[in-house]
């Protein structure tokens, strides 16, 4: 027996207890540190993306006085038709407007510098404006043109101006003109709707994610076809399949498939869908099929779990009423398991929305300006657009990339909130 | 096309009505009780009307190009006689493209124009024939099914059988996917290993897959020794696991054993958000924020670091994997029965002693399984390394230098133009095969361990 | 030991122990009645509870329990399921702390130390008060490590030889040594149910506790294993104070010297086992032991 009243025991155990509790506190601290690390990583990620991305939602524009002279445009007053207006020489008009906004005579090299302050897309902007309102021809109007990416970044403060000239994309001369424009109130900032509606572009200031969003929606439309297949497979395995080696194999196979790297599914799509079945490269239909195959295991596993959660008493009750096994499943079990299945599918959907690697394999990396019109048009999708912009060297694409990430995260959060809502609204505890 | 689809849909729908009313009528006239509800008879007829026709349509679409090809190429024997199989394919797709008007019809020579014309007319004929066959099969099957309807006919059984077959086929898709993956990887890999010996690939220490594009071009031979890629992959995965395993495990233990309910409510969503962020975002984060930071820090410490270091990619990949490990470990820790905890606390153990000496050992198989799954995830992860790790195949274990991985090379090789007869393109499939088998092995082992573990405590 | 014998002789002489006016008492009305039926005892109790109320959230599970537990005796707690006897048992080594919503009021003393006082270390308390659970719960370790776990965490063994000795003594005391001495390094989970439960008893006594709590230790066992455990309790009570919760009245009658009857969270009656079973004071006790309910 231990004499717990002895002084010696008390002292020894006191020391020991102090040591043990220290160890306990230390261990607890590790746990807290781990959580803090995770939270910190998330914070840094979010902050670094938001801080570099929010400026993309604003567009710097420069107001220039444009003289829409029919002669310069190349359209004589008599033949002001759409066809000729479409092909008119807006480029020169815009350039003149730029030169006019700068005092003094411009050298040839200066003209180039001056043009570098306004986006290459300015002539297109002017064209659209004129086509919308042909009556403008012959008048002088004040037009807000999108600034070039270099000026845009400078105006937003994303690039420093107080560094050596050689380290800047905008040289001292351009800087002086810019300052003058600011004084004249020509430079302003506006919400960048263009970013949401237009497709990709070589010029960062004109690039938008409209095309990528459309492509993603088309891709997910094709992807959604995997829902009935996934549910059917889960129902078969859970409710009808005989328990034998064969179904065991299917089950093991599904579990393994869920953990196969996504890029392998891209190789599958490339070798089978593109090379064997000759499906069109880089299109939402192929992308959707690859993503569907990739997320099918996730959906099957989620659906099986919610089928499993339906208590056997419900099946037995229905069977006792004389329902056939198929009727039991369709009338009783499946409706009860549907919320869980939907939740799983939405999670699969959000996984598919963010997936990039397999889409690179099937050629969805092309530079596509047009917004796709259907599932068989080559198109980009959001994550691939992010990848493409992230790989571009131009400084202006950094904010675009971050902004696109913000948009994709917004989509994902919405989808997951919806999944959580579904789960809480319909979840039953048995 | 849309017209045909609408017609087909209408046909199937009306066949449902026909079956239904026919069943009612037969029951009414004979006075017998129907075996199955009229709806089942309707479904039965509709299935007969729809399914065989659709199957024939699919078969037709699959076989049409083959027949068209041989017929069309036979119209221009003078061109095709001396052509290899490869060239024939190219020629045929050229004909197809031109016929479909993809590049405008600018066929220079007469024989090609002839082939295009014959292709076009054949295609048109085939199209009409297909529609005719499709709809006649549809109607014939409808009539056949309708003739079988009688009060005693077991329509429900037939419909359920068909439905069961659909369910079964759906579950087969998972198998077919696996077979598809294995076949596509193996066939292309075999072609690769005909060009490059297997041993050179697995044991070679030099990777530079630039092969000569033309026979007369002066270029390096191209070396396909994948060891640097394997080492790079392992290095980055190792760094990732060094971050993710302790953090994920401690987070899981803390959440399961120490945390109050309120902490859990806050912490779990944080981990879930980390898990839900697309990998391309992590890749951008690694390249934009972490890589420069790693480089600056290393240089401040007087170490040479490349701007695309293995460390940056590994760190970010580790962050990505944290929630994966923590949620899997959380599950296995929660599966440890409460009675073991009670037993340990009743012995006078502190929380950390209970965790370290009872719970973690009890959950160890599950945790090992989780870590293995995480490793397989790290090895197969693509976007982070594509964006943050380099392309240079350095054979090094220095985390500050840039290395490349299997997945990076697959992406680099296959993005852009592909020549399916060059060793360069095919090597991507060989790499894919390696990747597939390694991850498969890890998954099989991990899933088996986890399954055994679950059985123990169920 | 002599002293204790003396105490034993004085058992049941009818003098009140003078604890009637304990300041910690809560629900006066109820405890009054309990004290009336509790036989008085001259001995100093090993453990005593006064006015213990236990709540699970808003629901009260125990109402003002006053109970004395004496050294070198088996005290049995009986009563229908859900009557709170296990809850009370778990108060004695504060295992209820593990449950978040559980709240304990009142006073429980072991050797005069208030075990719910803030100065008391729950880890040290549990070293003194061991526990055996309803279902055998050996750790997923070897038999040896199962026994060595307690001495190791409490630092009771000086070296390997010391530890070997503790393991052997504990297993011997639990009557398991001869069955497992050849396979000490096999997993403890590989033993049969009865052996596992004796392993858990050996584990509990490895740290030389003063009190051993047994929560229906035989309910998962077959009759032969049960007989084993009951014999073991008989031997163990020579050195330890044992409190056992049991569903089986026969078992209580066989192994215990004192018995307490719980009903709906109240301690209805407590006294010498023979008295409770042969001549209960309270009608509810009478009804329960004659099988009218429960």
Question: CA-CA distance, A149 to A172, in Å (whole number)?
Answer: 17
Alpha-carbon torsion (C109, C115, C120, C123), positive or negative = positive
Six-digit token pair at C240? 């330890």
What pLDDT score was predicted for residue B108?
60
Q: Does C122 touch chain A (CB under 8 A)?
A: no
Question: How many angstroms away from the CA of A272 is the closest CA of chain B?
Answer: 7
Residues B372 and B439: beta-carbon distance below 8 Å: no
Considering the domain architecture, whether residues A159 and A225 belong to the same structural domain is answered as no
CA atoms within 13 A on the CB side of A136: 20
What pLDDT score was predicted for residue A429?
61
What pLDDT score was predicted for residue C18?
39
Residues C98 and B341: beta-carbon distance below 8 Å: yes
Q: Does A53 touch chain B (CB under 8 A)?
A: no
A355 and B444 within 8 Å at the Cβ level: the answer is no
C154 and A1 within 8 Å at the Cβ level: the answer is no
- Whether A1 is covered by a domain: the verdict is no
Considering the domain architecture, whether residues A319 and A296 belong to the same structural domain is answered as yes
Phi/psi of residue C260, each to 5°?
Answer: -120, 135
Which range marks the domain in which residue B54 is found?
2-153
Six-digit token pair at B226? 């994948």
Helix axes of B310-335 and A7-53: crossing angle, nearest 10 degrees: 130
> Among A315-319, A409-413, B64-68, B123-127, whose mean pLDDT is lowest?
B64-68
Question: CA-CA distance, A374 to A326, in Å (whole number)?
Answer: 37
- Helix, coil or strand: residue B420: coil
Considering the domain architecture, whether residues B416 and B309 belong to the same structural domain is answered as yes
Within a 10 A sphere around the Cβ of A184, how many other Cβ atoms?
A: 11
DSSP track, B176-208: HHHHHHHHHHHHHHHHHHHHS-HHHHHH---EE
Q: Does A43 touch chain B (CB under 8 A)?
A: no
B-chain CB neighbours of C200 within 8 Å are: 343
Q: Could you say which of A171, A203, A235 is where a domain stops?
A: A203
Strands (E), A58-158: 58-67, 140-146
Question: CA-CA distance, B339 to A163, in Å (whole number)?
Answer: 68
- Whether B426 is covered by a domain: the verdict is yes
Question: CA-CA distance, C246 to C262, in Å (whole number)?
Answer: 11
B348 and C140 within 8 Å at the Cβ level: the answer is no
B361 and C150 within 8 Å at the Cβ level: the answer is no
Helix axes of B155-195 and B38-74: crossing angle, nearest 10 degrees: 30
- Whether B270 is covered by a domain: the verdict is yes
DSSP track, B124-179: HHHHHHHHHHHHHHHHHHHHHHHHH--TT--HHHHHHHHHHHHHHHHHHHHHHHHH
Question: How many angstroms away from the CA of B125 is the closest CA of chain A?
Answer: 21
Question: How many angstroms away from the CA of C148 is the closest CA of chain B?
Answer: 11
pLDDT, one tens digit per residue, over B187-203 is: 989 988 888 888 888 88
What pLDDT score was predicted for residue B107?
53
Q: Does C153 touch chain A (CB under 8 A)?
A: yes
- Whether B161 is covered by a domain: the verdict is no
- Number of domains comprising chain B: 2
Within a 10 A sphere around the Cβ of B331, how many other Cβ atoms?
A: 16
Residue of A356, C289, C215 whose CA lies nearest to B387: A356
Count of residues in chain A: 430
Considering the domain architecture, whether residues A183 and A225 belong to the same structural domain is answered as no
DSSP track, C161-226: HHHHHHHHHHHHHTT-HHHHGGGTTSBGGGS-HHHHHHHHHHHHHTT--SEEEEESTTTTS-HHHH
Residue of C167, C128, C129 whose CA lies nearest to C149: C167
- Helix, coil or strand: residue B442: helix
Question: CA-CA distance, A319 to B122, in Å (whole number)?
Answer: 56
- Whether B214 is covered by a domain: the verdict is no
Question: How many angstroms away from the CA of A207 is the closest CA of chain B?
Answer: 18
Residues A105 and A133: beta-carbon distance below 8 Å: no
Residues C228 and C259: beta-carbon distance below 8 Å: no
CA atoms within 13 A on the CB side of C127: 22
What pLDDT score was predicted for residue A263?
93
Residues B91 and B83: beta-carbon distance below 8 Å: yes
Residue of B142, B83, B143, B76 whose CA lies nearest to B114: B76
pLDDT range class, residue C242, cuts 50, 70, 90:
very high
The CATH code of the domain that includes B274 is 1.10.3720.10
CA atoms within 13 A on the CB side of C130: 21
Measured torsion, CA atoms of residues A89, A91, A97, A98, in degrees rounded to the nearest 10: -170
Q: How far is CA B275 from CA B259, B321, B326, B408, in A?
A: 20, 8, 10, 22
* A neighbours by CB contacts (3+ pairs under 8 Å): B, C
Regarding the domain with residue range C2-289, which homologous superfamily does it belong to in the CATH classification?
A: P-loop containing nucleotide triphosphate hydrolases (3.40.50.300)
Look-up of token digits 């209960």: C280
Q: Given the DSSP bridges, would you call strands C258-263 and C102-110 parallel, antiparallel or unpaired? A: unpaired
Look-up of token digits 């095709």: B80
B348 and C98 within 8 Å at the Cβ level: the answer is no
Q: What percent of chain B has pLDDT over 90?
A: 27
Residue of B242, B38, B68 whose CA lies nearest to B159: B38
Question: CA-CA distance, A360 to B427, in Å (whole number)?
Answer: 17
B-chain CB neighbours of A39 within 8 Å are: 267, 270
Q: Which residue of C has its CA nearest to A21?
A: C123
Six-digit token pair at B363? 């959950």
Look-up of token digits 């904010």: A399
Considering the domain architecture, whether residues A37 and A72 belong to the same structural domain is answered as no
pLDDT at B237 over 90: yes
pLDDT, one tens digit per residue, over C247-286 is: 888 899 999 999 999 999 999 999 999 999 998 999 999 8
pTM: 0.83
Tell me the helix, strand and coil percentages in chain B, rounded to 5: 80, 0, 20
Q: Which residue of C has its CA nearest to B337?
A: C137
Residues B228 and B206: beta-carbon distance below 8 Å: yes
C155 and A12 within 8 Å at the Cβ level: the answer is yes
pLDDT at B379 over 90: yes
Q: Please, what's the largest Cα pairwise distance for chain B?
A: 98
**Angle CA B189–B190–B194, to nearest 5:** 115
- Whether A276 is covered by a domain: the verdict is yes
Q: Please, what's the largest Cα pairwise distance for chain A?
A: 118
B254 and A230 within 8 Å at the Cβ level: the answer is no
Residues A307 and A238: beta-carbon distance below 8 Å: yes
Question: CA-CA distance, A279 to B126, in Å (whole number)?
Answer: 20
- Whether A191 is covered by a domain: the verdict is yes
How buried is C28 (Cβ within 10 angstroms: 0-12 exposed, 13-18 middle, 19+ buried)? exposed
- Whether B211 is covered by a domain: the verdict is no
For chains B and C, CB pairs below 8 A equal: 67
A13 and C239 within 8 Å at the Cβ level: the answer is no
Considering the domain architecture, whether residues A14 and A136 belong to the same structural domain is answered as no
Question: How many angstroms away from the CA of B260 is the closest CA of chain A?
Answer: 12
Q: Give the mutation candidate from B259, B262, B342, B348 for the C interface (greatest C CB count, under 10 A).
A: B348
Residues A90 and A123: beta-carbon distance below 8 Å: yes
pLDDT range class, residue C40, cuts 50, 70, 90:
low
- Whether B315 is covered by a domain: the verdict is yes
Considering the domain architecture, whether residues B96 and B243 belong to the same structural domain is answered as no
Q: Could you say which of B153, B168, B194 is where a domain stops?
A: B153
Q: Does A367 touch chain B (CB under 8 A)?
A: no
Considering the domain architecture, whether residues A334 and A257 belong to the same structural domain is answered as yes
B428 and A267 within 8 Å at the Cβ level: the answer is yes
What pLDDT score was predicted for residue C75?
94
Question: How many angstroms away from the CA of A24 is the closest CA of chain C?
Answer: 12
C-chain CB neighbours of B341 within 8 Å are: 98
* C neighbours by CB contacts (3+ pairs under 8 Å): A, B
- Whether B243 is covered by a domain: the verdict is yes
Considering the domain architecture, whether residues B288 and B421 belong to the same structural domain is answered as yes
Q: Does A151 touch chain B (CB under 8 A)?
A: no
What pLDDT score was predicted for residue C26?
40
Considering the domain architecture, whether residues A320 and A244 belong to the same structural domain is answered as yes
Considering the domain architecture, whether residues A230 and A354 belong to the same structural domain is answered as yes
Q: Does A22 touch chain C (CB under 8 A)?
A: no
B346 and C127 within 8 Å at the Cβ level: the answer is no
pLDDT at B251 over 90: yes
Six-digit token pair at C217? 């230790």
What pLDDT score was predicted for residue C23?
40
Considering the domain architecture, whether residues A44 and A26 belong to the same structural domain is answered as yes
Phi/psi of residue C10, each to 5°?
Answer: -80, -5
A13 and C124 within 8 Å at the Cβ level: the answer is yes
What is the average pLDDT across B206-227? 66
Considering the domain architecture, whether residues B264 and B142 belong to the same structural domain is answered as no
C153 and B337 within 8 Å at the Cβ level: the answer is no
* B neighbours by CB contacts (3+ pairs under 8 Å): A, C
What is the average pLDDT across C47-69? 91
Round the average pLDDT of chain C to a whole number and report it: 83
pLDDT at B217 over 60: no
Measure CB to CB from residue B348 to each of C126, C137, C139 and give the nearest one: C126
Q: Please, what's the largest Cα pairwise distance for chain C?
A: 58
Helix axes of B261-276 and A396-426: crossing angle, nearest 10 degrees: 130
B-chain CB neighbours of A34 within 8 Å are: 246-251, 254
- Helix, coil or strand: residue C64: strand
Alpha-carbon torsion (B21, B22, B26, B32), positive or negative = negative
pLDDT, one tens digit per residue, over C79-95 is: 888 888 999 999 998 88
The CATH code of the domain that includes A308 is 1.10.3720.10
Measure CB to CB from residue A253 to each of B175, B356, B415 and give the nearest one: B175
Within a 10 A sphere around the Cβ of C113, how many other Cβ atoms?
A: 14
Where in chain C are the domains?
2-289
Residue of A130, A124, A122, A127 whose CA lies nearest to A151: A122
Residues B120 and B99: beta-carbon distance below 8 Å: yes
Six-digit token pair at A69? 């002279």
Strand pairing partners for A143? A64
Question: How many angstroms away from the CA of A326 is the closest CA of chain C?
Answer: 41
- Number of domains comprising chain A: 3
C-chain CB neighbours of B339 within 8 Å are: 133, 135, 137
Q: Does A11 touch chain C (CB under 8 A)?
A: no
Residues C232 and C261: beta-carbon distance below 8 Å: no
Q: How far is CA A7 from CA A13, C113, C121, C154, C162, in A?
A: 10, 16, 17, 17, 22
Considering the domain architecture, whether residues B274 and B380 belong to the same structural domain is answered as yes
Six-digit token pair at B417? 């133009």
Considering the domain architecture, whether residues A307 and A394 belong to the same structural domain is answered as yes
| Dihedral class, residue C111 (left if φ above 0, else alpha if ψ from -120 to 50, else beta) | left
pLDDT at B137 over 80: yes
ipTM: 0.88
Round the average pLDDT of chain B to a whole number and report it: 85
What pLDDT score was predicted for residue B211?
55
Considering the domain architecture, whether residues A172 and A267 belong to the same structural domain is answered as no
Alpha helices by DSSP H, B261-355: 261-276, 279-285, 291-300, 310-335, 338-346, 351-354
Question: CA-CA distance, C219 to C86, in Å (whole number)?
Answer: 13
* Interface list for A 398-417 with B (CB within 8 A): 398, 401-402, 405, 408-409, 412, 416
A357 and B279 within 8 Å at the Cβ level: the answer is yes
Q: Given the DSSP bridges, would you call strands B223-224 and C129-132 parallel, antiparallel or unpaired? A: unpaired
Q: Does C8 touch chain A (CB under 8 A)?
A: no
What pLDDT score was predicted for residue A16?
86
- Whether B181 is covered by a domain: the verdict is no
Question: CA-CA distance, A426 to B6, in Å (whole number)?
Answer: 36
Question: CA-CA distance, C8 to C14, in Å (whole number)?
Answer: 13
A-chain CB neighbours of B414 within 8 Å are: 266-267, 270, 360-361
Measure CB to CB from residue A17 to each of C124, C156, C208 and give the nearest one: C124
pLDDT tens, per residue, chain A with 430 residues: 566 777 777 787 888 888 999 999 999 999 999 999 999 999 999 999 998 888 888 888 888 888 887 777 776 655 555 457 777 788 888 888 888 888 777 788 888 888 888 888 888 888 888 888 878 877 888 888 888 888 888 888 888 878 887 777 888 888 888 888 888 888 888 888 888 888 888 888 888 888 899 999 998 888 888 889 999 999 998 888 888 888 888 888 888 888 899 999 999 998 888 888 778 888 888 999 999 999 999 899 989 988 988 888 888 888 888 788 888 888 888 888 888 888 888 888 888 898 999 998 888 888 888 888 877 788 889 999 999 998 887 888 888 899 999 999 999 999 888 888 887 777 666 5
Count of residues in chain C: 294
Q: Which residue of C has its CA nearest to A5?
A: C111
Q: Does A161 touch chain C (CB under 8 A)?
A: no
pLDDT at B16 over 60: yes
Considering the domain architecture, whether residues A247 and A189 belong to the same structural domain is answered as no
Measure CB to CB from residue C208 to each of A1, A16, A17 and give the nearest one: A1
Which range marks the domain in which residue A41 is found?
7-54
pLDDT range class, residue C13, cuts 50, 70, 90:
very low
B167 and A236 within 8 Å at the Cβ level: the answer is yes
């Amino acid at each position: 027996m231990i004499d717990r009243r002895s002084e010696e025991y008390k002292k020894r155990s006191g020391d020991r207890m102090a040591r043990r509790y220290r160890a306990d506190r230390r261990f607890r601290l590790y746990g807290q540190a781990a959580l803090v690390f995770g939270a910190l990583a998330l914070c840094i990620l979010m902050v670094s993306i938001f801080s570099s991305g929010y400026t993309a939602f604003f567009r710097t524009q420069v107001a220039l006085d444009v003289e829409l002279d029919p002669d310069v445009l190349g359209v004589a007053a008599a033949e002001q038709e759409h066809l000729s207006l479409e092909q008119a020489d807006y480029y020169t008009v815009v350039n003149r407007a730029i030169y006019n906004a700068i005092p003094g005579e411009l050298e040839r090299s200066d003209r180039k510098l001056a043009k570098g302050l306004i986006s290459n897309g300015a002539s297109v902007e002017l064209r659209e404006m004129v086509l919308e309102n042909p009556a403008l021809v012959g008048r002088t109007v004040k037009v807000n043109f999108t600034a070039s990416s270099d000026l845009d970044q400078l105006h937003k403060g994303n690039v420093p101006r107080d560094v050596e000239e050689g380290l800047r994309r905008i040289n001292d001369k351009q800087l002086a003109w810019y300052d003058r424009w600011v004084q004249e109130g020509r430079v302003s900032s506006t919400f960048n709707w263009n970013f949401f509606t237009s497709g990709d572009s070589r010029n960062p200031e004109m690039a938008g994610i409209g095309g990528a969003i459309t492509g993603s929606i088309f891709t997910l439309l094709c992807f959604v076809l995997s829902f009935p297949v996934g549910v059917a497979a889960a129902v078969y395995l859970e409710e009808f399949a005989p328990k034998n080696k064969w179904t065991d194999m299917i089950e093991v196979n599904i579990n393994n498939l869920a953990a196969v790297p996504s890029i392998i599914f891209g190789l599958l799509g490339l070798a089978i869908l593109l090379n064997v079945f000759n499906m069109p490269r880089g299109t939402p239909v192929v992308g959707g099929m690859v993503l569907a195959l990739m997320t099918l295991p996730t959906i099957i596993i989620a659906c099986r779990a919610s089928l499993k959660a339906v208590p056997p008493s419900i099946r037995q009750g229905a069977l006792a009423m004389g329902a056939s096994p198929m009727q039991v499943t369709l009338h009783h079990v499946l409706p009860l398991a549907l919320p869980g299945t939907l939740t799983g599918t939405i999670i699969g959907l959000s996984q598919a929305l963010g997936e990039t690697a397999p889409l690179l394999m099937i050629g969805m990396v092309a530079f596509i300006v047009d917004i796709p019109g259907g599932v068989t048009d080559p198109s980009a999708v959001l994550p691939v657009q992010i990848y493409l912009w992230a790989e571009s060297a131009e400084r202006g694409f950094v904010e675009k990339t971050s902004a696109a990430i913000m948009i994709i995260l917004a989509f994902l959060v919405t989808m997951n909130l919806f999944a959580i809502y579904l789960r809480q609204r319909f979840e039953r505890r048995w | 096309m849309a017209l045909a689809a609408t017609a087909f849909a209408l046909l199937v729908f009306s066949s449902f009505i026909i079956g239904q009313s026919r069943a009612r009528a037969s029951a009414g006239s004979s006075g017998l009780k129907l075996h199955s509800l009229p709806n089942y008879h309707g479904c039965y007829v509709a299935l007969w009307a729809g399914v065989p026709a659709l199957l024939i349509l699919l078969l037709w679409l699959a076989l049409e190009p083959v027949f068209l090809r041989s017929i069309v190429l036979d119209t221009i024997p003078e061109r095709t006689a001396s052509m290899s199989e490869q060239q024939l394919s190219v020629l045929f797709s050229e004909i197809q493209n031109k016929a479909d008007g993809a590049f405008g019809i600018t066929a220079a020579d007469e024989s090609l124009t002839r082939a295009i014309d014959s292709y076009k007319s054949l295609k048109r004929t085939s199209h009409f024939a297909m529609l005719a066959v499709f709809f006649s099969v549809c109607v014939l099957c409808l009539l056949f099914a309708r003739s079988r309807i009688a009060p005693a006919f077991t329509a429900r059984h037939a419909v359920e059988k068909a439905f069961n077959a659909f369910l079964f086929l759906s579950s087969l898709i998972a198998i077919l996917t696996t077979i598809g993956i294995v076949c596509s990887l193996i066939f292309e890999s075999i072609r690769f290993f005909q060009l490059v010996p297997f041993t050179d690939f697995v044991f070679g220490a030099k990777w530079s897959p630039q092969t000569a594009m033309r026979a007369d071009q002066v270029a390096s031979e191209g070396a396909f020794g994948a060891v640097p890629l394997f080492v790079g992959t392992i290095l980055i995965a190792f760094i990732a696991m060094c971050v993710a395993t302790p953090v994920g495990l401690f987070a899981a233990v803390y959440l399961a054993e120490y945390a109050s309910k309120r902490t859990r409510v806050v912490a779990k969503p944080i981990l879930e958000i980390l898990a839900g962020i697309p990998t391309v975002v992590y890749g951008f984060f690694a390249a934009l924020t972490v890589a420069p930071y790693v480089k600056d820090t290393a240089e401040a410490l007087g170490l040479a670091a490349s701007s695309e270091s293995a460390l940056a990619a590994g760190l970010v990949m580790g962050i990505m994997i944290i929630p994966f490990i923590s949620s899997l470990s959380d599950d296995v820790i929660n599966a440890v029965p409460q009675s073991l905890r009670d037993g340990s606390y009743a012995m006078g153990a502190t929380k950390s002693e209970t965790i370290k000496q009872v719970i973690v050992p009890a959950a160890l198989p599950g945790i090992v399984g989780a870590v293995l799954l995480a490793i397989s995830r790290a090895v197969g992860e693509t976007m982070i390394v594509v964006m943050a790790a380099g392309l240079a195949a350095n054979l090094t274990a220095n985390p500050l230098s840039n290395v490349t991985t299997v997945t990076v090379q697959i992406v680099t090789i296959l993005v852009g133009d592909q020549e399916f007869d060059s060793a360069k393109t095919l090597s991507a499939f060989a790499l894919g095969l390696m990747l597939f088998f390694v991850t498969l092995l890890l998954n099989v082992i991990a899933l088996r361990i986890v399954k055994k573990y679950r059985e123990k405590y169920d | 030991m002599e002293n204790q014998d003396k105490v034993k002789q004085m058992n049941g002489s009818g003098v009140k122990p003078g604890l009637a006016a304990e300041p910690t008492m809560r629900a006066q009305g109820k405890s009054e009645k309990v004290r009336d039926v509790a036989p008085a005892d001259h001995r100093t109790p090993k453990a005593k509870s006064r006015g213990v109320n236990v709540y699970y959230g808003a629901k009260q599970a125990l109402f003002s329990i006053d109970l004395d537990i004496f050294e070198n005796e088996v005290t049995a707690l009986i009563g229908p399921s859900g009557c709170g006897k296990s809850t009370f048992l778990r108060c004695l080594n504060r295992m209820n702390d593990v449950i978040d919503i559980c709240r304990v009021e009142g006073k429980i003393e072991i050797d005069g130390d208030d075990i719910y006082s803030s100065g008391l270390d729950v880890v040290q308390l549990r070293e003194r008060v061991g526990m055996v659970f309803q279902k055998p719960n050996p750790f997923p370790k070897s038999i040896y490590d199962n026994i060595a776990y307690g001495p190791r965490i409490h630092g009771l063994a000086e070296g390997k030889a010391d530890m070997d000795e503790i393991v052997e003594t504990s297993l011997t005391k639990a009557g398991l040594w001869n069955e497992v001495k050849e396979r000490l390094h096999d997993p403890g989970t590989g033993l049969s149910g009865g052996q596992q439960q004796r392993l858990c008893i050996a584990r509990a006594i490895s740290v030389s506790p003063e009190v051993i709590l047994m929560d229906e230790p035989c309910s998962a066992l077959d009759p032969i294993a049960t007989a084993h455990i009951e014999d073991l309790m008989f031997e163990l009570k020579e050195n330890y104070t044992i409190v056992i919760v049991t569903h089986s009245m026969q078992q209580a009658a066989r192994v215990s010297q004192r018995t307490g009857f719980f009903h709906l969270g109240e301690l209805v009656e407590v006294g010498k086992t023979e008295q409770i079973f042969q001549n209960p004071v309270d009608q509810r006790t009478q009804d329960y032991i004659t099988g009218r309910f429960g």
